[in-house]
Structure 1
Amino acid sequence: MDLSPIQSALSSKSYSTLADTCDELMLQVASRGIAYQEEWPFDVHLLGHVFANDLNSARYLWKSIPQGIKESRPELVASWKIGQCLWTRDYAGVFDAIRGFEWSPEVVDLVTAFSENYTKKMFQLLNSAYSTISVGDVAHFLGMTEDNATNYALQQGWTLDSSSKMLTVKKPKMVAEQKLDPSKLQRLTEYVFHLEH
């Protein structure tokens, strides 16, 4: 079985296309009647769906994997743990699941890239949902220590009230509205006037 398209996606760090590559290759192999399950990189496939934030596909893939394979591959179980935490919105649990396993060299870059993207996504959610938030809550949502979460937030332009341990969110600058050209407004006025009379 030729898994080179999957290896190519991993080596080129094309993680956003990894799940689709795995899905297509799995269908091709299965359509030829080739027994693939023992050799299939289910952990990579599952992490590809997690990276793409396609939790339904990750869940269906997990359910389709034979129990014997699940029991014999700890990295696969660790990959699914990330998916479970995402599914239940256990934000800190996602980071605990990532840090709680010694990832193989084959997937460590994929997991690292997912972790970085997830941190950014969580920070953007906090940025849009709060004007002030406690250091402890930021640490919880970002899966960091309070010191690391504070440093991360300060690097993003937030400010810290050290007496109350509250962070003030720096809202993104609003894009200035485009000003209407007076000549266009005059033409529109003339056009409407013409229609009414």
Structure 2
Amino acid sequence: MDFSLLTDALASNSYEKIADICDNLLLQAAAEGVAYQDQWPYAIHLLGHIYADDINSARFLWKSIPSTSKESQPELVAAWKIGQKLWTRDYGAVHEAIHGFDWSQEIQGLVAAFSELYTKRMFQLLLSAYSTISIQDTALFLGMNEDDATNYVLRLGWVVDPASRMLTVKKQTIVTEQKLDATKLQRLTEYVFHLEH
């Protein structure tokens, strides 16, 4: 099996491509009747779906992985722990699953990139769901200690009340750009001209 596309994606930090590359290689192997179970990079494949925020595909992949691979590859099991926590929406435990395993050199970059991406997703969730939130809950969602979480959100404009240990969320203003369509402007001009005369 030629894993050069996968190796290239990992080397170039193109983590968003990993799930598709692995899915296509798996289909190709199945179509050619190639035995691949023993050397298949299941942990990378699973993490690729997790990175792409495709938890349903990660679940289906996990169910299709042979039990012998699950038993012999602790890194695969550790990757699935992340998927399980995402599936059950145990947001704080996702960070524990990420940091609770000593990832191989080959996977460290992917896991670190997912961790950063996940923290950003959690920040966006907090931004959209809360107007105030405790420092403790913020730290849990962002997978940081309380000081780091406070500093992280303060840099983004949030306000802290040290007495109550609450954070006031600063909603980001959404700038929408209106596009001027020349044909619509011409029709409007003609319409106004017609009304005036």
TM-score (ref. length: structure 2): 0.90
- Number of positions where the alignment pairs a residue of Structure 1 with one of Structure 2: 193
Task: Give ranges in structure 2 of 5+ residues lacking alignment.
Answer: none
Query: 1 CA distance for matches of 2:191 and 2:10?
Result: 59
Show the counterpart of 1:99: 99
Q: Partner of 2:2: helix, strand, or coil?
A: coil
Q: Deviations over 1:19-43 (max 9, x none)?
A: 0000101111121111100000000
Q: What's the offset of the Cα at 1:186?
A: 11
For 1:47, the equivalent position in structure 2 comes to: 47
Aligned partner of 2:163 in structure 1 is: 163
Code of the residue aligned with 1:131 in structure 2: it is S
Q: CA deviation at 1:50?
A: 0.3
**Structure 1 residues 190 and 30: CA distance shift in structure 2, 3 A:** closer
Q: How does 1:19-98 map to 2 (within 5 A)?
A: 19-98=19-98
1:121 aligned residue: 121
Q: In structure 1, how many angstroms separate the alpha carbons of the residues matched to 2:20 and 2:174?
A: 36
* Regions of 4+ moved over 6 Å: 184-187
Identity %: 66
Measure, in 2, the Cα distance between the counterparts of 1:56 and 1:17.
17
Question: Partner residue of 1:145?
Answer: 145
Say yes or no: does 1:172 pair with 2:172. yes
Q: Which moved more, 1:147-156 or 1:74-83?
A: 147-156
Indicate the larger mover: 70-79 or 166-175.
Answer: 166-175
Distance 1:174 1:30, change over 3 A: closer
Q: Which amino acid aligns with 2:6?
A: I
Distance 1:30 1:41 in 2: 15
SS of the residue aligned with 1:26?
helix
Paired AA for residue 36 in structure 1? Y
Task: Supply the AA of the counterpart residue of 1:136.
Answer: Q
Q: Secondary structure of 2:106's partner?
A: coil
Q: Partner amino acid for 1:47?
A: L
Q: Deviations over 1:69-123 (max 9, x none)?
A: 1000000000000001101100011000001000000000000000000000110
SS at match of 1:97: helix
Partner of 2:3: 3
Q: Give the letter for the 1:154 counterpart.
A: L
Q: Match for 1:38: what amino acid?
A: D
